[in-house]
Structure 1
Amino acid sequence: MTDLMKFALRRVGQSVAVVWGIITLVFLLRFLTPIDPATLVAPDDATPALIEQIRQDLGLTDPIIVQYFRYLSEVARGDLGFSYGSGVHVNELIVNALPATLELAFASLIFAVIFSIPLGVLSAKRRGTNTDATTNIISLGGLSTPNFWLGIMLILLVPVQLGVLPTGGRVAPTESLLEWTKHMILPTVALGTYFMALLFRMTRNNVIEELNKEYVRAARAKGLPENIITVRYVLQNSMAPVITVAGLQLGLLIGGSVVVEAVFNWPGLGSLFIQALNTADWPIMQGILIVVGIGYVSINILVDILNAKLNPQVNLS
């Protein structure tokens, strides 16, 4: 078994403990709310006896340790329970909402990568110039601007004032690719601007660090073209930390799109979570938190393995 395989198996083992911790924390959060789930399920004219019967049917009268192990068993089987409000299986609700969230998260990450890396290299190559100052000011603005405020401002400016692009909602790409693109632009920019600024600063700092190393001066002394030095050597050696952060940001984009989805009426996990929060529908909230947590842990594992594969200097022990 190779060192990389051992490293991957060790990371998977560690992640199992992390996922168990996430499930445990999510389970305990339900007991912090004063709302009785039985009252949410019961009809408005339910008698106390009926509410007590519903409480027993839901297993809420069992000791907490019994409820905990029952919940662990259900989650291990992939059963996230039923919505208190609609009675629909939580798995079904999440499966229906997840594609929209993944779509927005990947689009935002691609947007961030496409703009951040070229601008980071350009800024590093022209360090101290007006170009460098301008890109740094833009990145500072991106890091300082809350994505929900940016989303609201984009809606007020582009659809309301200019009459261009829709204010929100989602159209599936299979229905109309043009309409899908129009609906994607504003939420992608709102969600991806912060991460674009973050990746830009990382790329710029890493490229500046690599440009000051001996091998770059040696390559220039040998007469290699500047473009080859930048792309083949400097950029390649600068990308490992950027790839690591970009991968981790994907997990944050999936979990952090709640407010942006609400602003743009995007039918993803964020909107579903807010709806469940408004009605205290704990099975939905618990299911979403578990899915997002497992997704973030899985992405973390893949990023660590990819980083170990690309960067021989990573300590696999």
Structure 2
Amino acid sequence: MALGKFLVKRLLQGVFVVWGVVTVMFTLRAVSPGDPANLIVGEAADPHLREQVREQYGLNEPIYVQYADYLQGIVVGDFGYSFQSGRQVEAMVIERVPATLELAIAATIIAILIAVPLGVISASRRNEPADYGATMFSLLGISTPNFWLGLMLILLLAVQLGLFPTGRRPVGLAEALTALATTGYATGLVVWLKHIILPAITLGTYFTALITRLTRSGMLDELGKPYVDATEAKGLPAALIRYKHVLRNTMIPIVTVLGLQLGTLIGGAVITETVFSWPGLGDRLIQALNARDWPLMQGIIVFIGISFVLINIVVDALYASLDPRVIDE
């Protein structure tokens, strides 16, 4: 099977996944108690006004008509209007995407920079103090709740030591880079870095521990194979063997987990964004939940579902390039 057909197959499967997410969210909205019109105009509003709101938002239509209209709107990129603010949902989602992507990518970079070398060192020095230390770090990282870790980092590094800010970030990455390019001053970039370090560490800790364990186990499997003995017999340096040959063959499961976890980071940043007042999708989702703003909640969840699908397709493409045999499976 050619790579193109392989990716088309994955894309079609992703369409069904997104459709399932949309259907589940719409069903939850339909069966949830309360009249959405009351959320918009209030329970004490005039009945005639409430009826006008139902008609405006299509809430007076049969449920199957509402479902069909919602699917049609999603196909053309129209997710409706927020009950609370009256703004277009897609605009409210898109404006928060950069902040969430910044946080997820920063957490992923931190995880990769720490986890991969740590996993290699742990596997290369099996049953030595370095291996025990890496194992202990992994256990702590997997076991520590990120909301607790975030609060502890704020109390210790921000409140007690004053090394990092505790408030909402005043500038985004795009704004900081634009200012750097136009004025030559890196002040905005430094401010952005100070604000993102603690949230990125909090969000990426579990990810770091997971990749460390995965790298270690994969390296141990590869180090016991005959080709490693053959390369050692040729006199190649140990570092070259570990990082060029052994680590490369270990990267397939790591790339898979990286892609899946990036989607998890995007969807799972809700708690971290709330703790650090990070202006991303998670923070907006909590606001929508508190206000029972169903169109906004649906839009955010559907966007996260689409992100998962697209990331998985990219992972499949990378997987196929690393191991072409998966195309024929």
Please indicate the TM-score interval, normalised by the length of the shorter structure.
over 0.9
What are the superposed Cα offsets for residues 118-176 of structure 1, whole Å, 9 maximum, x if unpaired? 00000000000011001100110000111111101100111111111011412223340
In structure 2, the partner of 1:169 is 168
**How far apart in 1 are the matches of 2:58 and 2:88?**
17
- Say if 1:35 and 1:280, in contact at 8 Å, map to a contact too: no
**How far apart in 1 are the matches of 2:303 and 2:288?**
15
**How far apart in 2 are the matches of 1:180 and 1:58?**
40
Q: Alpha-carbon deviation of 1:181?
A: 0.6
In structure 2, the partner of 1:117 is 116
In structure 2, the partner of 1:300 is 312
- Say if 1:172 and 1:180, in contact at 8 Å, map to a contact too: yes
> Pairwise CA RMSD of aligned residues?
1.3
1:235 paired with 2:244, answer no
In structure 1, the partner of 2:2 is 3
Q: What secondary structure, in the 3-state scheme, does the structure 2 residue paired with 1:224 have?
A: coil
Q: Alpha-carbon deviation of 1:199?
A: 0.5
Work out the percentage of aligned pairs sharing the same amino acid: 52
1:128-207 equivalence runs, <5 A: 128-170=127-169, 171-173=171-173, 174-175=175-176, 176-207=188-219
Q: Alpha-carbon deviation of 1:59?
A: 1.5
- Say if 1:120 and 1:200, in contact at 8 Å, map to a contact too: yes
TM-score normalised by structure 1 residue count: 0.97
**How far apart in 1 are the matches of 2:245 and 2:91?**
48
- Say if 1:4 and 1:316, in contact at 8 Å, map to a contact too: no
1:63 paired with 2:62, answer yes
- Say if 2:2 and 2:327, in contact at 8 Å, map to a contact too: no
AA aligned to 1:172 is: G
AA aligned to 1:285 is: M
1:72 paired with 2:71, answer yes
In structure 1, the partner of 2:179 is none
- Say if 1:84 and 1:281, in contact at 8 Å, map to a contact too: yes
What are the superposed Cα offsets for residues 23-47 of structure 1, whole Å, 9 maximum, x if unpaired? 1111111023212110111156412
- Say if 1:165 and 1:183, in contact at 8 Å, map to a contact too: yes
In structure 2, the partner of 1:212 is 224
In structure 2, the partner of 1:23 is 22
Residues 174-183 or 276-285, more deviating: 174-183
Structure 2: unaligned runs, 5 residues or longer: 177-187
In structure 1, the partner of 2:285 is 273
**How far apart in 2 are the matches of 1:33 and 1:43?**
17
Residues 290-299 or 18-27, more deviating: 18-27
Q: What secondary structure, in the 3-state scheme, does the structure 1 residue paired with 2:136 have?
A: helix
In structure 1, the partner of 2:185 is none
- Say if 1:116 and 1:197, in contact at 8 Å, map to a contact too: yes
Q: Alpha-carbon deviation of 1:50?
A: 2.3
Q: What secondary structure, in the 3-state scheme, does the structure 1 residue paired with 2:328 have?
A: coil
In structure 1, the partner of 2:184 is none
What are the superposed Cα offsets for residues 235-293 of structure 1, whole Å, 9 maximum, x if unpaired? 11111110110011110000000010000000000000000100000010000000000
**How far apart in 1 are the matches of 2:40 and 2:50?**
9
AA aligned to 1:155 is: I
Q: Alpha-carbon deviation of 1:20?
A: 1.2
AA aligned to 2:299 is: G
**How far apart in 2 are the matches of 1:32 and 1:141?**
41
1:248 paired with 2:248, answer no
TM-score normalised by structure 2 residue count: 0.93
Residues 181-190 or 229-238, more deviating: 229-238
1:88 paired with 2:87, answer yes
**How far apart in 2 are the matches of 1:290 and 1:172?**
24
What are the superposed Cα offsets for residues 34-79 of structure 1, whole Å, 9 maximum, x if unpaired? 1211011115641223223322332112111111101100111100
How many residues in Structure 1 have an aligned counterpart in Structure 2? 316
**How far apart in 2 are the matches of 1:191 and 1:205?**
23
In structure 2, the partner of 1:39 is 38
- Say if 2:6 and 2:327, in contact at 8 Å, map to a contact too: no
- Say if 1:82 and 1:89, in contact at 8 Å, map to a contact too: yes
- Say if 1:191 and 1:257, in contact at 8 Å, map to a contact too: yes
Q: What secondary structure, in the 3-state scheme, does the structure 2 residue paired with 1:313 have?
A: helix
Residues 33-42 or 247-256, more deviating: 33-42
Residues 249-258 or 28-37, more deviating: 28-37
